[in-house]
Structure 1
Amino acid sequence: MIDVTVAASGAAAPLVVRTVALDDPGPLLDLLPDEPCVSWVRRGEGLVGWGEAARFASRGDDRFEQAQRWWAETVSGAVVRDEVDLPGTGPVAFGSFTFDAGSPGSVLAVPAVVVGHRGGRWWVTTTATQGALPAAASLARHEARAPGAVTYADGTMSGADWEGVVAQAVQRITRGDVDKVVLARDLEARTAHPVDPRWLLRGLAESYPGCWTFAVDGLVGATPELLVRLERGLVHSRVLAGTISRTGDDDHDLALAASLARSSKDLEEHEYAVRSLADALAPHCTSMNVPEAPFVLHLPNVMHLATDVAGVLSDGATSLTLVAALHPTAAVGGTPTAAAVELIRELEGMDRGRYAGPVGWTDGRGDGEWGIALRCAELDGADPHRVRLFAGCGIVAGSDPARELAESDAKLVPMRDALDRA
């Protein structure tokens, strides 16, 4: 057991931040206590945290810029002692932003305690507001509580109604309003016992180790899509667009993967998304590498067409600056983006909240990792037995509503399995 210090959340006073090395404390997700937590973990590495030393909420078209200004001011006034000096050490803020500029809920939060693991090194960062009275805490393994029996109900609309919305979108695409639009649907789950986010996180990390398992302010999920990583001047992004469900038969799945790689509909959808991302990154990067053809990313429940894009930062942008430039990509909005977002507002019939918005972390250098909040669910702060699940699909001229509904069902599987696991 390792003793650390947890700071009480205080007023807008300078932060005092200290990062020290740790011996291996065990799996990161097992360290989370029974209190609001944050997570960004992939293959056992990443960051987890709890408590809150500072928080900033934003809204509107400039919500990312507002958050970046607040974070820069917060870091510039902080007293920092970083004995590890790795990405994710020193001051760290976790963020989750709404898909739509008009939606409330975007947040950047600084945990009181962050524990990190990278390349065989572990560390703990404690953050307090200057003059705050600290309270003792310990790093130890904590158990997570199962939610018990789970029941499901339609969210904003039934599956049949959502198929009708997809059909409307195809008509609008055929008419020439947009080339592609990404439509989402939600599903409501109710549990016998209050939902413990740690239960969901552990189930997701076990089943989807190659995804980024995240939790920020009640939004929990495991995303396969890296919006952007900025690390010491190097920029990376992973684009996913074009999806097919797996059957569980390896030979059949290989044949399906080959058909996905040849599908004109899916290749067209993927090309839109890659072009959108590369065009947004180009003003900030040199030496960009954009592969000519995608590869097939195999996940336990689905397969995606995927492209990894890389570049060298040229203008001193922070990770949040890049997030602002990239969101929303064609992979989660559509093409042309502005027209597709307007069509989403018209047809979708719900507020996505933070679904399909950026989620991740940034450190005091401006580096960070940000994913797209997919394969996720939002816990209800007012009702601990209620969870709202989300899934979305890219709609193009060749889309079939019934197939899109089936694809959305497949994308709901990770969260349903995380809730239902024994």
Structure 2
Amino acid sequence: MTSAPTSRARQRIRVRSRQDRAGDLLGLLPNPDQALAWVRDGSGLVGWGEAARLEVSGPDRFAQADAWWREFVSHLDVDDELGVPGSGPVAFVSMAFADEPGDSVLIVPEVVVGRRNGVEWVTTIGTADSIPRKAPLSRPSAVRYANGQLPVTEYREAVREAVARMRDGDLGKVVLAHDLLAVTDKRIDQRFVLQGLARRYPECWSYAVDGLVGATPELLLRRTGSVVDSRVLAGTTWPHDGISDEELALALMSSEKNLEEHEYAITSLAETLRPFCSTMSVDGPSVLRLPNVSHLSSDVIGTLSSSASLLHLGEAVHPTAAVGGTPRLDATRLIAQLEGMDRGRYAGPVGWIDGNGDGELGIALRCAQINGSTARLFAGCGLVADSDPDSEVQEAHAKMRPMREALEGL
């Protein structure tokens, strides 16, 4: 575990509200390489600068991150005139999917600008300048694609092998992913990618943490005081020529394969979250329609019976069957065996947490890890015993569409 800074000197945090300027939060980001963001439909949080940083890995990464954050917050003097979730101290969070190597990160910005329900605020740590000089937005040059660690042909065979094992064994569902490399001639401006995603997918949570940039439709957990909620997605279709959106939605809602996949995801989330709740309800499924795909969607809401923080809850529920499978341990072992690649922080929890343990964590989907002039794109599909390998490859291709369009400026 590494962190910076380690000084125990008290730091002052100031939060001030301001009249909503009705501008684009993502347009405030000054740096093309170090974007911090969590924005949906114009509301959310953006940040810049780095007051503190934690890099943590391994099976205990959630517990270590939670302990570090509590310790960090305890040494702050907070002047917060709003006192709403997301004001005061905030850390942007991006956790690895797997326990090993499990490289994860928390970043505390020097400046955070937040907006919710028409109220806008600015949080600063120390003497940070809340209005830095902004670098011009840069459009990527021509994008070239190359095989990642798991090319499409090998991915198809991995899907075929997983389906065969599910038919012969006790595994109910497994989610397999593959990757694709995108290369340009100049450094990729994370802000350009973010703005493109937010513009085309406003109903998703557009995010950026330490180079992981994406727009997820799936909310893993949101904690607001004693209330916790989640939006679970599993079961997917995509546009087909000659078939209307209404026909696709009806087919999705009547598909035994997709309903089975969705039920696994709901059950895994509810079972792991229920021990922390005094009440819980599940609403759904319904169809969530996005420009590239449609998903079966269900909402889960619970009343917490404990003071568990967002990171504590995240540790309990991750990975759900929506990104891992069921039974959880068997599925994650099969993923490691058949994918043969490090997912990094793809399909891990991503979002933010505040000084009260409130916050939002999505699942890092529809994303790419951006490093300089290279981006590594990811997409995965939930598999059950009657999944078709060719269809799953098509689904993965459809799920990569948002990132490809954002990189290409479409």
Q: TM-score, normalised by structure 1?
A: 0.93
3-state SS of paired residue (1:290): strand
Q: Secondary structure at the match of 1:48?
A: strand
Cα separation, 1, equivalents of 2:194 and 2:216: 12
Q: Which among 237, 250, 265 is matched to residue 258 of structure 1?
A: 250
Residues 39-188 of structure 1: pairs in structure 2 closer than 5 A: 39-128=37-126, 134=127, 136=129, 138=131, 143-188=136-181
Q: Distance in 1 between matches of 2:157 and 2:74?
A: 52
Selected match of 1:404 from 384, 392, 405: 392
**What are the residue-to-residue correspondences of 1:339-350 with 2, within 5 Å?**
339-350=330-341
The reply to whether residue 199 of structure 1 matches residue 192 of structure 2 is yes
Distance in 2 between residues matched to 1:30 and 1:230, nearest whole Å: 27
The residue that corresponds to 1:12 in the other structure is 7
- SS of the counterpart of 1:40? strand
In structure 1, the residue matched to 2:280 is 288
**1:22 counterpart = 2:23:** no
Q: Identity of counterpart residues, as a percentage?
A: 53
Gaps of 5+ in 1: 1-8, 129-133
Q: What is aligned with 2:221?
A: 228
1:414 lines up with 2:402 in the alignment: yes
Q: CA deviation at 1:143?
A: 4.0
Contact 1:31 1:140 in 2 (8 A): no
Letter in 1 for 2:393: L
Corresponding position of 1:301: 292
Cα deviation 1:224-273 (Å, max 9, x = unaligned) = 00000001211110100000012476x61210110010000000000000
- Counterpart CA distance in 1 for 2:109 and 2:345 is 20
**Partners in 2 of 1:154 and 1:37 — Cα distance?**
26
1:191-242 superposed Cα distances (whole Å, 9 cap, x missing partner): 1221010001000000000000000011000000000000121111010000
In 1: Cα distance, 2:133 partner to 2:370 partner:
25
Cα 1:224/1:258, change in 2 over 3 Å: same
Contact 1:112 1:127 survives alignment (8 Å):
yes
| Preserved contact between residue 246 and residue 253 of structure 1 (Cα < 8 Å) | yes
Post-superposition offset of 1:175:
1.2
What CA distance in whole angstroms lies between the structure 2 residues aligned with 1:11 and 1:322?
26
Corresponding residue SS for 1:146 = coil
Q: Deviations over 1:371-420 (max 9, x none)?
A: 0000000012xxx1111000000011010000000000000000000001
- Alpha-carbon offset, residue 105 of structure 1: 2.3
Q: Which amino acid aligns with 2:162?
A: A
Distance in 2 separating the partners of 1:40 and 1:113: 14
Alignment of 1:273-422 (within 5 A): 273-291=265-283, 293-380=284-371, 384-421=372-409
Asked if 2 retains the 8 angstrom alpha-carbon contact of 1:165 and 1:348, the reply is yes
Whether 1:243 and 2:243 are equivalent positions in the alignment is no
Name the counterpart of 1:208: 201
Quote the Cα distance in structure 1 between the aligned partners of 2:68 and 2:6: 14
Residues 136 and 40 of structure 1: CA distance in aligned 2, closer, same or farther (over 3 Å): closer
2-side partners of 1:119 and 1:90: how far apart?
17
**Corresponding letter in the other structure for 2:15:** T
How far did 1:24 drift?
Answer: 2.7
Taking the aligned partners of 1:124 and 1:71, their CA distance within structure 2 comes to 20
Per-residue CA deviations over 1:63-98 (Å, capped at 9, x if unaligned) read: 101100111111112111101111100010111000
Question: Could you tell me how far 1:370 is from its partner in structure 2?
Answer: 0.3
- CA shift, 1:139, in A, is 6.0
1:349 Cα deviation after fit: 1.4
Provide TM-score, normalisation by structure 2: 0.96
The 3 A distance-change label for structure 1 pair 136 and 109 is: closer
Structure 2 partner of 1:3 = none
Q: Compared with structure 1, are the counterparts of its residues 247 and 15 closer, same or farther at alpha carbon in structure 2 (3 Å cutoff)? A: farther
How large is the RMSD of aligned CA atoms in angstroms? 1.5
Instruction: Give SS of 2:394's match.
Output: helix
Q: Secondary structure at the match of 2:393?
A: helix
CA displacement at 1:177 relative to structure 2: 4.2
Give, in whole Å, the separation in 2 of the partners of 1:121 and 1:405.
43
Q: SS state of the match for residue 30, structure 2?
A: coil
Could you tell me how far 1:366 is from its partner in structure 2?
0.5
- The Cα of 1:62 is off from its aligned counterpart by 1.4
How many pairs were matched up? 404
